[in-house]
Amino acid sequence: MEIPRMSQFPLFLLVVWGFGGLEAPAEAQDVHCYEAFDEATGSCHNLLGTGVATQDCCLNHAYGFQAGDGAPCQSCRSANWSQWSAWGPCSVSCMEGIQRRKRTCYGWNKGTCTEGTHEWEARSCTPQDCCPVDGGWSSWSAWSPCSVTCLRGFETRQRTCTNPAPVCGGICPGNKEERVPCDTRQICPTHGNWGNWGNWEACPATCTHEGSSQKPQQQRRRLCNNPFPSTMPPGNPCPGSDRDHQDCVGLPFCPRDGNWGAWQPSSPCSVTCGVGRVVEARRCNNPEPKYGGRNCPGQDTRNHICNTGMPCPVDGQWTEWSQWSKCERLGANFRINCEDIDGTQSRTRMCSGRAHDGKRCEGKDRIEMRSCYDIHLCSMKGTWADWSPWGLCEPACGPNPVRTRVKECKPTYENYPEQVEGQNGQMQDVNFWGKPIPKCTPLDGQKFKVEERTPCLNVPRCED
What integer pLDDT is reported at residue 322 of this predicted model? 92
Q: Per-residue pLDDT for 406 more than 90?
A: yes
DSSP characters over 424-435? TSSEEEEEEES-
Asked whether 62 and 28 are in contact (CB, 8 A), the reply is: no
Give tens-digit pLDDT for 439-457. 999 998 999 999 999 999 8
Q: Per-residue pLDDT for 184 more than 90?
A: no
Q: What is the mean pLDDT of residues 166-171?
A: 90
Q: Per-residue pLDDT for 8 more than 70?
A: no
CA atoms within 13 A on the CB side of 462: 21
Asked whether 142 and 155 are in contact (CB, 8 A), the reply is: no
C-alpha pair distances (Å), 58 with each of 24, 44, 114, 266, 443 = 12, 13, 19, 26, 60
Task: To the nearest 10°, report the CA torsion of 428, 363, 7, 390.
Answer: 170
Q: How many residues are present in the chain?
A: 464
Single-letter code of the amino acid located at 225: N
H-run or E-run covering 277: strand 275-281
Rounded distance, CA 72 to CA 50, Å?
Answer: 15
What integer pLDDT is reported at residue 438 of this predicted model? 92
Q: Per-residue pLDDT for 214 more than 80?
A: no
Q: Per-residue pLDDT for 113 more than 60?
A: yes
For 333: left if phi > 0, alpha if psi spans -120 to 50, otherwise beta; the answer is alpha
Grouping H, G, I as helix, E, B as strand and the rest as coil, residue 101 is: strand
Give tens-digit pLDDT for 275-304. 988 888 999 988 888 888 889 998 988 888
